[in-house]
Amino acid sequence: MRRRKFIAGISVAAAWPLVSHAQQHERMRRIGVLMSRKPDDALGKARITAFIEEMQKLGWNEGRNIQFDVRWTEGNAEEIRRYATELVGFTPDVILASGGTVVGPLLQVTRSVPVVFTVTPDPVGAGFVGSLARPGGNATGFTQFEYGIGAQWLALLKEIAPAVTRAAILRDSAIPEGMGQFGAIQAVAASMGVEVSPIGVRDPAEIERDVAAFARPNSGLIVTGSALAALHRNLITALSVRHKLPAVYPERPFVAGGGLISYGADSVEPHRRAASYVNRILKGEKPADMPVQAASNYRLVVNLKTATALGLDVPHALLARADEVIE
């Protein structure tokens, strides 16, 4: 018995240096992360946290076998280009592009580094991928919504504020998503008895001036999805209440901050799902062969306190469909 224990002890002792050596020399992988929001944005932080937590569940732990290089752009075009170039210069294994506004500039810098994008409305129309089923290049990922959701935003505005006959559409005209969303709304506006007018979101002073000039009875707002709209979220929601303008927003944080109603895809969940794509790429799969996936979880959120402040009676049918009601 003693001899067996002695021999077993030798075996373990002999194996230990090999295990220790393997752990010490585990290959460090590098992941670039290009965020479309500012560092203190709550939704932006939730997105990156979800991604990193899911990567940990898949066995990737920062400091042991992976390094994250995160850059925040605040929707600024110059910063997006600068940080895209910087991240590519690090020669990462993969880059996570969080938000449609950062994908185009990133792909202008590299067509070789694998890119996994999230919350990107129309990657085919924008030229990011060849098709949803077969991307064909160095990028793949997760869409946010189809432009047709614009018709649903307008329908929601008419449902919660039937008297509206004019709607200002706040959109970023410098990105394809801005024009696509506006076009989808414009295509159905006449049939719903609504006249629509575009307002830019690139400059706070311009937003405040144009919204004030637009405001009059029977008017409303629709805010389309963009990094700049998110950046100026507090200003936009404050203006809508100040000028008594019923407004529909693309995501929950607007409503949590005092906006009236939002309808859009959950933008945190795709970052969890993106971790699985990054994991597969790190293990040898190619973005060209990984299909682009659509958003899977849409949420309708209503703020009753804001509705009261605007003098609106929210239809019971609308409240029954809501995923969340803020009181």
Instruction: Convert the pLDDT of each residue in 227-270 to its tens digit.
Output: 889 889 999 999 999 999 999 999 999 999 999 999 999 999 99
Q: Name the more confident of 147 and 223.
A: 223
Q: What is the pLDDT of residue 1?
A: 42
Instruction: Convert the pLDDT of each residue in 50-83 to its tens digit.
Output: 999 999 999 999 999 999 999 999 878 899 999 9
Lowest model confidence (mean pLDDT) among 2-6, 40-44, 180-184: 2-6
CA 49 → CA 53, 139, 268, distances in Å? Answer: 6, 22, 9
Please, what CATH class does the domain formed by 149-265+299-326 belong to?
alpha beta
Q: Are 143 and 154 in contact (CB under 8 A)?
A: no
The whole-number average pLDDT for the span 268-279 is: 96
E-assigned strand segments in 172-310: 195-200, 219-223, 247-249, 261-265, 298-303
Q: Which of these, 254, 259, 250, lies nearest to 306 by C-alpha position?
A: 259
DSSP codes of every residue in 117-184: EEEES-TTTTTS-S-SS---SSEEEEE---TTHHHHHHHHHHHH-TT--EEEEEE-TTSHHHHHHHHH
Is the confidence at residue 23, as pLDDT, over 70?
Answer: no
Instruction: Convert the pLDDT of each residue in 129-168 to its tens digit.
Output: 999 999 999 999 999 877 889 999 999 999 999 999 999 9
Q: What is the pLDDT of residue 324?
A: 96
Question: Edge-to-edge strand order for the sheet containing 219-223?
Answer: 195-200, 166-171, 219-223, 247-249, 261-265, 298-303, 324-326
SS3 per residue for 17-57: HHHHHHHHCCCCEEEEEEECCCCCCHHHHHHHHHHHHHHHH
Is the confidence at residue 13, as pLDDT, over 80?
Answer: no
The whole-number average pLDDT for the span 73-101 is: 93
Is the confidence at residue 14, as pLDDT, over 70?
Answer: no
Torsion angle defined by CA atoms of residues 321, 170, 72 and 90, in that order, rounded to the nearest 10 degrees: 100
Q: What is the pLDDT of residue 125?
A: 83
Q: What is the pLDDT of residue 9?
A: 42
pTM for the predicted model, two decimal places: 0.81
Rounded to whole angstroms, the Cα distance separating 40 from 257 reads 15
Identical fold between 24-144+267-296 and 149-265+299-326? yes
Q: What is the pLDDT of residue 25?
A: 56
Rounded to whole angstroms, the Cα distance separating 115 from 63 reads 22
Rounded to whole angstroms, the Cα distance separating 9 from 214 reads 82
Is the confidence at residue 5, as pLDDT, over 70?
Answer: no
Q: Which of these, 154, 168, 248, lies nearest to 214 by C-alpha position?
A: 168
CATH entry 3.40.50.1370 includes domain 24-144+267-296? no
Map out the domains of the chain as residue ranges.
24-144+267-296, 149-265+299-326
The two three-digit tokens of residue 191, written as one number? 């049939």
Q: Name the more confident of 301 and 231.
A: 301
